Amino acid sequence: MDLQLTHLRTLQAIAQHGSFSRAAQTLRLTQPAVSMQVRHLERALGLPLLERVGKRAFPTRAGQLLLTHADRALRELEAGVERVQGLRGVVAGRVRLGTSASISIYLLPPALRRFRARYPETEVVVVTGNASEITRAIVANTLDVGIVSLPVRDRELTVTPFFHDELVAIGPPEPAWRRLKTIDAPTLAGHTLILFEAGATLRRVIDGWFHRAGVAPRAPMELGNTEAIKKLVESGLGLSVTSWFSVKSEVRARVLTALRLTPPLERQLGLVRRRDKPHTPALDAFVAALEELRRSLQTRSRAVR
């Protein structure tokens, strides 16, 4: 039976994301192409491999069995290719990174650009999700490394502190806000707030800060996208709390105002991997690139805004 590797990778991506459309985006394919590859697999094996429930897709029992063996086979094949490339003195292979959308947008691009310039034979796959999704994928070995909010308590994972992310309040570029330097929880809770959706890791950190002050925001508007939140705040529809690194460009361009929180609020980001994850030249080089990024962020964070 001739099973194509590209079709197995497509099945992996759908199972990981739970979505044909997200798998298509990750693989840089059209959604019809993804559907066609799954149909080829199912025809070859004579059983359905995926079950659609609404907009979600889940592996059937047959799909789970195939993926269990396919994951191992693909990992072994990738490791073999990396070792052969190593004989040529070339760092090559695929590295799968999981992190949040905001980290992938605002922190990672310079590091990814440098890494690809140094190691053009490598492929970096970036998957975004919340911390629990990323850590589960690393435990399942469908991702190699992650940058997530701490704490992480999975015993299978090793955690290295990566970055202290300072959170700030943001407001529109009005003189009244520019005159302020700090803001506390009771004052902030008295304004219309635009916050991340309930359940998000960052939202839990923000809610904890309000709770410790004995106050709660009054029916905040909830969004799941940092860029959308910034635009609404810039338009004067409310205030928000978010990562300093995600707004510093707008603050310096004077389209948003940032206020330090009193008391200060930070979240710790960490680099997570499986404890038993085998070392490969590509993964080691990528982790070294992330360590270089960590040192750069640490140096910049010492500078006064």
- Tell me the average pLDDT of the chain: 89
How many angstroms separate the CA atoms of 58 and 15, rounded?
A: 6
Class of domain 1-90: mainly alpha
- 12-17 contact pairs (CB < 8 A, 24+): 12/67, 12/70, 12/71, 12/74, 12/142, 14/38, 14/50, 14/57, 15/50, 15/57, 15/58, 15/59, 15/63, 15/67, 16/127, 16/137, 16/142, 17/127
Is 1-90's fold the same as 164-267's? no
By DSSP bridging, strand 50-53 and strand 56-59 are antiparallel
Tokens 């520019």 locate to: 178
Share of the chain above pLDDT 70, in %: 95
Residue 25: pLDDT band with limits 50, 70, 90? confident
Q: Is the pLDDT of residue 136 over 60?
A: yes
pLDDT higher than 80, residue 246: yes
The verdict on whether omega for the bond into residue 151 sits within 30 degrees of 0, i.e. cis, is yes
The DSSP call for residue 193 is B
First-to-last alpha carbon distance for the chain, in angstroms, is: 62
Residue 82 has pLDDT above 50, yes or no: yes
pLDDT one-digit tens code per residue, 29-62: 898 999 999 999 999 889 999 998 887 899 999 9
> pLDDT class for 140, splitting at 50, 70, 90?
confident
CB atoms within 10 A of CB 113: 10
Q: Is the peptide bond before 263 cis (omega within 30 degrees of 0)?
A: yes
- In Å, what is the CA distance from 270 to each residue of 49, 144, 253, 301, 304? 35, 14, 30, 16, 23
The pLDDT confidence band at residue 207, using thresholds 50, 70 and 90, is very high
The three-class DSSP label of residue 31 is helix
Domain boundaries defined on the chain: 1-90, 164-267
For domain 164-267, the CATH class is: alpha beta
Phi and psi dihedrals of 198, rounded to 5?
Answer: -60, 140
The pLDDT of residue 305:
44
